[in-house]
Structures are given as C-alpha cells and as structure tokens.
Amino acid sequence: MGDDQASARCRVVVVGGGFGGLETVRALADAPVDVTVIDRRNHHLFQPLLYQVATASLNPSEIAAPIRRILRQQANAEVFLGNVVGVDRASRKVLLLDGEVEYDYLVLAAGVTHSYFGHDEWARYAPGLKTITDALEMRRRIFIAFEAAEREGHPGRRDAWLTFVIVGAGPTGVEMAGALAEIARRTLRSDFRHIDPRSARIILVEGAPRVLPAMRERLSVKARAQLVKLGVQVRTDSQVTSIDETGVSIGEDHISARTVLWAAGVSASPLAGTLGVPLDRAGRVLVNPDLTLPGDDRIYVIGDLASITQKGKPVPGVAPAAMQQGKHAGLNIERANEGLKPEPFHYRDKGTMATIGRAAGVADIGGLRLSGALAWLCWLLVHIWFLIGFRNRFVVMLEWARSYLTYEKQARLITGEVENLLLEPEAAAPTRPDGGA
C-alpha cells in the first residue's frame, strides 16, 4: 500500500486483531507483502484474563494493548480502526461501514460474540463476557448488588441482591464463580454495616451433567469439589428456561437473583453469515483443510470464526488453536504468493486448564492431569508467560501477589453514576436498613 505511490506488492488484509489475526500478521513480517489489520477496537485483548477485569482484580490496560503499538516495529503492517460489514469477493474488497479496502488475500479472524440460544431478550438481564466494556458492566453489576443490599431493608429483596447466578460452567463460568466467592467471603468481609457479604449465594448453573464439560471427567469432579469448598452452589443438568429482572428459572424452579452473569453460549461473528458459504450450528465457517473458504482460495478463515475437524474432533475455540491457525494462514499466503500450493492445517493440542479461586484449579496438559494448588500455579505461569507483549507483565504479577496476600481487589470501581438503586424492578418504597425512613 506504500503511502503515496501505486504499489504492486501483494496486499493482505486481516480482519480482527485477536490471537489469530496478530499471528497471521507476525508470520508475514518478512514476506514481500503489505498487511492491513482492521479491527473495530484499538486494542488486542488477552481474553483468558477478562474475568479478572470483571471481578476487579485487574485493570483493563493490564490485559489489553493497542494493536498499533504491538505492531509498531513491523514496517509492512498498518492498522485501521474500522467496522467490517462484509466482503465483495468479486472485486476483492473488504467493506467497512465507512469505506472499503482492497485485498489480494484476506484473513477473517473476527471471532465470536455471546449467544443466548435464541433468547436475545436475556441479554439485558444476563450480560456476557467478550469485551472490556462487557467486563466493566459485569463489575458494575456485581458491586452495585452489594451496595443495594446494604441499603435494602426488606429481607426478601435483600436476599435477591445477594444472590448471583452464573449461567454456564465452562472455564469462564468456573473462574467467575470462584472469583465471586472470594469477593463475597474475603474481599468485602469487613466493608458493610448492615449485611454480611459472606452470606451471598453464588450459584453456578450448567445444562450438561458436569462442570468443565470439555475436560476429562476426573478433572470435572475435582473442579466441582473445589467450587463447593469455596461455597459455590453447583447445579448441573440444569437447563435455564427463563431469565428476567426477578431472576432465573430452571423449569419449575425459580431462583430470585438480581445479578445474573452469562458464561454459556457463543456464536460466530455475523460476518460469517455474509459470505454465502455453509456454516455450522454455531454460525462458524466450515473451512477447507488448508483454512481457505470453500470456493475462494483468496480468503482464509481462522480462530473462533472457523469450524474445522481433525481426527474426528473439532478444533476447540481456544487461544492456542487460533494462534496456530493464524500462523498457518500467514505461511500459506506466503506460499501462495510464491506460486506454491497451500498446505493443510494440523492442530497440536497443548492441553487445557482452568483456575478456581485462590490456589485451586485443574489442568490437563498432555498426559499430565493436575488439580489444586499445582494446577493453579501452572495456570498462573502459563498466563503470565503469554502476557509477553503486554509489557505490563510485571505490574500484573505485582497485583496478583498483592491480591493473593491481602485478598484486596484493586479495581473495585463502579464507573458512571447511580440513579435509582432500589426502585427497580418493583418500584418498591425503599427504607433505611434500620427502618429509619
């Protein structure tokens, strides 16, 4: 794209600056191509730690960094802040809300958003966790709930403010539940005068028969035991049938709760639907073995947006898979640009892990199955290691150490102002907890 002159260099456009997209850009660093990354956010996000922003352990900037800064040194890469709405395959253009960008090769790495299984009306009551804005909204709801309980005089309504339901017991749900239990049992313990935060109920609801359904059964059992020990109520085999301002229904059973957090379904970026190719049930693109779009070898689809099966098992929607695919797409584009045939992608499973509160967790790495403190330590090291490139690894380590030693949460801020704390949902006449009003 060479700034002021027409250029014959191969133009690669990457949509999405997540784990997959950035790996593609890096893989092309020394190739004779010009790369344009387009994202509608200016930052790359270390998604596996987003729940720590939601639970006030970390600041947004500790797990996010400007894409522009990450790629500062890569001379053949430029970054555009923009919102991609479609692709014109005939004329090889990416269509933005406010412009268009031409490509020779296109890599789609737009990821997923949360999905409410056809119940979009639940979104209002049960926010999901994909962006920093989402995390700050969850944080706001969690801490507002304790504030409202402190002021609420009616026992039933107070209990509803002190009940937290997390829907979905995958890694995010399990990690959220553990962190919430820690907040209620330890962090806030001495901060209130009219409520005991330790009496808060944290309920983890999962439709499958066990928590962490993607992991081995033995680790699910251990994870559940660790959650219960932290005081989390675990309800497996429980399909949520309704969510509204009063709480969550599981069939006939209703849980009165003012705070519901969504950690269940995801579906692919709507961009997949604009391509005119077959999608899987979650809306992801069924890609060729070399990660190209069926019928168009100029377009690669990677990461959570791609559906691909290997040895009869789907490649999971996790960061390591996205990174491997990103790198592979970059190398395939370089091959294609040199007139060589692209090669099929092979996924190398590096294992999975989840953390459950302080010094507890489960990990499944190759043949190794860990649980408890060792799994937690393992999780910690891997996550700090991959924060490379965020430059604030040291600050994050420091915060974790402090948080671990003091149970303190540095980022307990509710941003924005509070209008009516107690008037919704029933417009009840609020009273002072001591009946003074």
Q: Segment 35-54, which members bind a second copy (CB under 8 A)? A: 40-43
Kindly give the pairing relationship between strand 93-96 and strand 247-250.
unpaired
Tokens 């102002």 belong to 417
By CB under 8 A, residue 22 contacts a second copy: no
Q: Which stretch binds a second copy (CB under 8 A): 21-29, 223-231, 250-258, 408-416?
A: 408-416
Residue 351 found at the interface with a second copy (CB under 8 A): no
The binder of a second copy chosen from 123, 144, 282, 359 (CB under 8 A)? 144
Q: Does 422 engage in binding with a second copy (CB under 8 A)?
A: yes
Q: Which is nearer to a second copy, 313 or 420 (CB)?
A: 420
Tell me which residues in 247-306 interact with a second copy (CB under 8 A).
none
Our finding on whether 365 is near a second copy (CB under 8 A) is no
Catalytic residue among 23, 175, 206, 399: 175
Considering only 9, 89, 151, 254, the residue that binds a second copy (CB under 8 A) is 151
Out of 20, 21, 82, 178, the residue judged to bind a second copy by CB under 8 A: 82
Q: Which of 136, 167, 261, 306 binds a second copy (CB under 8 A)?
A: 136
Q: With respect to a second copy, which residue has the nearer C-beta, 30 or 217?
A: 30
Q: Is 150 in the site for a second copy (CB under 8 A)?
A: yes
Residue 26's contacts (CB-CB under 8 Å, 6 or more residues apart) are 74, 327, 330
The smaller minimum CB distance to a second copy, of residues 45 and 321, is found at: 45
CA distance 195 to 204: 22
Q: Does 68 bind a second copy (CB under 8 A)?
A: yes
Stretch touching a second copy by CB under 8 A, among 19-27, 65-73, 118-126, 342-350 = 65-73
- Binding flag, residue 416, a second copy (CB under 8 A): yes
Contact 299, 87 (CB under 8 A): yes
Q: Which of 88, 133, 239, 397 binds a second copy (CB under 8 A)?
A: 133
The answer to the question of residue 395 lying near a second copy (CB under 8 A) is yes
Nearest to a second copy of 35, 275 (CB atom)? 35
Of the candidates 123, 214, 331, 411, which one interacts with a second copy according to CB under 8 A? 411
CA atoms within 13 A on the CB side of 327: 8
CB distance 154 to 193 below 8 Å: no
Tell me the backbone φ, ψ of residue 97, rounded to 5 degrees. Answer: -60, -30
Collapsed DSSP state (helix, strand, coil) of residue 256:
strand
Residue 401 interacting with a second copy (CB under 8 A): no
- Which is nearer to a second copy, 101 or 354 (by Cβ)? 101
Mapping DSSP to helix (H, G, I), strand (E, B) and coil, where does residue 425 land? coil
**Residue 361 near residue 381, CB atoms below 8 Å:** no
Which range, of 178-186, 271-279, 363-371, 404-412, touches a second copy by CB under 8 A?
404-412
Site for a second copy contains 398 (CB under 8 A)? yes
Count other C-beta atoms under 10 Å from residue 367's C-beta: 6
Least Å distance, CB 42 to a second copy, is 4
138 CB contacts (<8 Å, ≥6 apart)? 54, 55, 127, 129, 261
Give the interface size with a second copy as a residue count (CB under 8 A).
Answer: 72
Residues 91-120 that bind a second copy (CB under 8 A): 93, 97-102
CB 103, CB 290: distance < 8 Å: no
* Sequence letter at residue 427: A
Contact 102, 109 (CB under 8 A): no
> Which residues, including other chains, have CB under 8 Å from residue 196's CB and lie 6 or more apart?
none
- Closest CB 183 distance from a second copy, rounded Å: 12
Question: Is residue 23 a contact point for a second copy (CB under 8 A)?
Answer: no
Rank residues 132 and 232 by Cβ distance to a second copy and give the closer one: 132
Q: For residue 390, give every residue at least 6 positions away whose Cβ sits within 8 Å of its Cβ, in sequence order, or none.
A: 46, 62, 63, 64, 65, 396
How crowded is the C-beta side of 366, counted as CA atoms within 13 Å?
0
Stretch of residues binding a second copy (CB under 8 A), selected from 144-152, 273-281, 287-295, 319-327: 144-152
Q: Is 424 a catalytic residue?
A: no
What is the CB-side half-sphere exposure of residue 347 using CA atoms within 13 A? 26
In whole angstroms, how close is the CB of 301 to a second copy at the nearest point?
21
Contact 353, 375 (CB under 8 A): yes
Peptide bond into 314 cis (omega under 30): no
Q: Which amino acid is at 155?
A: P
Q: x/- binding map, residues 183-212, to a second copy, per CB under 8 A?
A: -------xxxxx------------------
Name the residue among 104, 130, 115 with its Cα closest to residue 16. 130
The runs of H, that is alpha helices, within 183-300 are: 217-229
Q: Which is nearer to a second copy, 41 or 254 (CB)?
A: 41
In whole angstroms, the minimum distance from the beta carbon of 139 to a second copy comes to 11
Query: Which helix (H) or strand (E) segment is 60 a member of?
Result: none
Active site residues: 175
